[in-house]
Amino acid sequence: MTGIWGHPLFHLGLIIRLTCMGLLIPSAVQQWYGPFFLQSVTAPSLDPWTSYLAVGGDPRAFPYGYAMWFLFLPLTFLGHAAGLAIAHSYGMTLLLVDIGMLLALKRLIEGNDHLLLKVYWLSPVVLFATYWLGLNDLIPILLLIIGILELRDGTPQWAGVFMALAVSAKLSMILAVPFVLIYLHQNKRLKTSFLPFVLPLTVAMAALQLPYLHSPGGRAMLLGNPELLKIYDLAISFGGGLQIYILPLTYLLVLFTVWRVRRMSFELLLFLLGVAFLLVLLLTPASPGWFMWVIPFLVLYQAKSGQMTIALVAGFSLLYVGLSGIVAPTPIFTFDSWLSALRAMDWPQPAAYVLSLWQTLLFAAGIILAVRMLQEGVHSNEYFRLSRRPFIIGIAGDSGVGKDTLASSIVGLFGQHSVVHVSGDDYHLWDRRKPMWQVMTHLNPHANDLSRFAQDIISLANGHPALARHYDHRTGVMSKPALVQSNDFIVVSGLHALYLPILRSLYDLKIFIDMDEGLRRQLKLNRDVRQRGHHRSHVLATIERREADAQKYIRPQAGEADLVISIRPTHPDHVGEVDGHSKLRLSVLARQGMYYEDLLRVLIGVCGLHVEVAQERPSGEIELSIEGEVEAEDMAFAAGKLMPQLKELLDTIPQWYSGIRGLTQLIVLTHVTQSLRARLI
C-alpha cells in the first residue's frame, strides 16, 4: 500500500479534495444533507426521516435507507461534539469512502497503481460530483463493488450482505442484482454459491428495507423523490394515451441478452454492469451524482484497454463536468472573496440549443463507451469463446498408454459439471462374450461402430444429447443405452479418436499419447491384472495378438495430432520395476506451436525441472524433453502464472496431480488456452 500513499498523484488528489472540503459548502449539503443530519444528532431517533419531516424538513433531503444513514452518523456525531460544522463531518465521511473505493479498485486492478490514481483518484467526475456538488452516490457504488469483490473471492454470503447494503444506501443499486443472479446461475462452477448468496441478500434486504418502508417519513421521502420518475421521461407514444418507456424496455432487453450469453466471466459481469448503468445515464435526465455509478467500471475498462480508451473516457468526463457545471447549483464559498461575488452575479445562461448540443455530445460519447465496453468484454473473455460451441479434445493412443487417465485429469481441472467424457471403448461392436472377440482385435477400426461414434460426438458438439452405452472393462459387458448431455468441454478418448477425418475436423485440440513399449506393456499388465481382474497370461497374449493392428491403425494417428505426448523411463533398464513412484521422462511434440518460452521459465524457475528444447523447426513445431520431480502445488502455481485468465474456466478447486500426470495437465492446459484464443482470429 505504500506505493499508493507515497505516490505524487495521490498527494495531488488529496490536496484537491481537502481544499474543496475546506473552502466549499456544496448546495446539496447546505439545503438537504446538512439540516437532515443536524436533526439526527440534536434529536436522535431510529426513524430520522419522520422526525425530520415533523419539524418541517424538506422531503427531498434524504431519500436513502439505513445503510447510508448509518455510514454518516459516526463522524457526524463526533464532529458535532467537537464543534465542527456538519458540512465538514459530511465531507470527511465522503473522503473516507473515496479512499475506500480507491482500495477496492486496487483489489480489482492489481499491479497498476499509477493508472489507478490517474483514472480514478484524479477523475474529474469523482472530484466534481463528490466534492463540488457534495453528492453521496459514491457510497452505494462502493458497497456494490465490495459485494462483487467478495463474490470473486469466494465468499458469496458477504457478497449478498454488501449488495443488500448497497440497495439500502440507494435503491437504484437493485439494478445490479439480476445480473449477479444470472452470473451465478449460468456459471456451472458457481452454482453452489447461488443459495449462499441469495439467502443473506434476502435476509439483509428485509432487515434493512422493511423498517425503512415502515417509516412514514421514509416512504414519503422515497416515493416523493422526483428522481424515481425520471425513468419514464423518455417514451414513445403508442397511441390511445399509451406510451412505451424506453429505459425499462432497454434494461429488460439487456437482461435477456445477458441470459442468452449463457456463460459469463467475472470480467464480463463487470463490463455488463457498466453498460447497464451507462444506459441508465444516457436514457434519463440523470442526476449529476448518477455518473458515479459507472466510474468503477470505466476504471476497469481503461485498465484493460489502451490510451485511446483513456482519452475517450477523459472526453466523456469533461463533457459531463462542463454540462453539469452549467446546470447544477454552485457551492457556497466559506470565505468572503471575489469568488463569492462572482457567484452572486447574474450570469447569462447558454441558449437551449447549446445545452442540447452539449447533451448530444455527451450522449454520443456514452454510447461509444457502452458499445466498446460490450464488444471488448464479450469478445475478450474465455467464456464467450466457449459459448460458441463446446471445446472438444480428442485423445488417441495404444491400449494402456493412459488415455483415460489423461481424460480423468482434464475432468479434474475443469470439474465434472463442465466436462463430458466420451470413451471409444463404449463403441466396440461386441463384448468379450461374443466369438468375434477372439477373431478380430478392437484395435481394428472394423471392430468398432465408428459411424455411431462420430454421430454422437457431432451431436454433442452441436449441443444436443447422445444415446450411448458404456463398456465395463471388469465384466466385459455393455450397459444399456443412456442419455449423455453435451457440456462446455467434450473429451473424446479412444484407440481411434483421431482415425476419422470428420472427427479430426471437429476437435479443437488433438492429442496422441505415445509410450515406451516396454513401459507400456508393464503398466498395461499392472492395470489389467490388478484393476480389471484379468489373468496375466491372457494379458500378455492379448498384447502380442494386437501388435500388428497397433502398427497398422493406431500409431499412424500420431501424425494427425497437434500434441504428441511421449512417456519414457528415465532409466530404460528399470522398466520392470515401474510403479507409481518410478522416475519418468516426458517428451512433448507441439505441432501447432506454443508459447514455450514462458512455459520453460515456469518449469525451470518455479518447478525446478530439467527441460531441454530437443528440436525447434521453422514450421513452428517444438519438441521438449522434461525430467524431474514436481508436486501438485507447483503445477497449480505454475498454471496461475502462465494462464491467470483461465482461472474462471477451471473448477473452483481444480484437482492437480504430481509428477508426469501434473505436467501433462499443465501442457494440455497451455494448448487449450492457445486454441481458445484462436477462436477469435
pLDDT band at 298 (very low <50, low <70, confident <90, very high): very high
Contacts for 156 with CB less than 8 Å, ≥ 6 apart = 150, 184, 193, 194, 196, 197, 200
Rounded CA-CA distance 487/511 in Å is 20
pLDDT of amino acid 598: 81
Instruction: Give the CA angle between residues 66, 69, 75 to the nearest 5°.
Output: 145
pLDDT of amino acid 205: 97
Q: State mean pLDDT over 234-248.
A: 89
Contact (CB, 8 A) for 326 and 355: yes
Q: State mean pLDDT over 150-171.
A: 96
Rounded CA-CA distance 665/657 in Å is 8
User: Can you give 456-487 as a three-state secondary structure string?
Assistant: HHHHHHCCCCEEECCEECCCCEECCCEEECCC
Range from 199-213, 219-233, 480-494 carrying the lowest mean pLDDT = 219-233
Rounded CA-CA distance 454/422 in Å is 11
pLDDT of amino acid 453: 95
Residue spans per domain, the chain: 2-384, 394-417+492-678
Instruction: Using DSSP bridges, classify how beta strands 489-493 and 391-397 pair: parallel, antiparallel or unpaired.
Output: parallel
| pLDDT higher than threshold 60 for residue 212 | yes
Q: What is the pTM of this model?
A: 0.84
Contact (CB, 8 A) for 443 and 549: yes
Backbone angles phi, psi at 494, to 5 degrees: 170, 170
Query: Which letter does DSSP use for residue 349 in this model?
Result: P
pLDDT band at 330 (very low <50, low <70, confident <90, very high): confident
Q: What is the mean pLDDT of the chain?
A: 87
Q: State mean pLDDT over 245-253.
A: 93
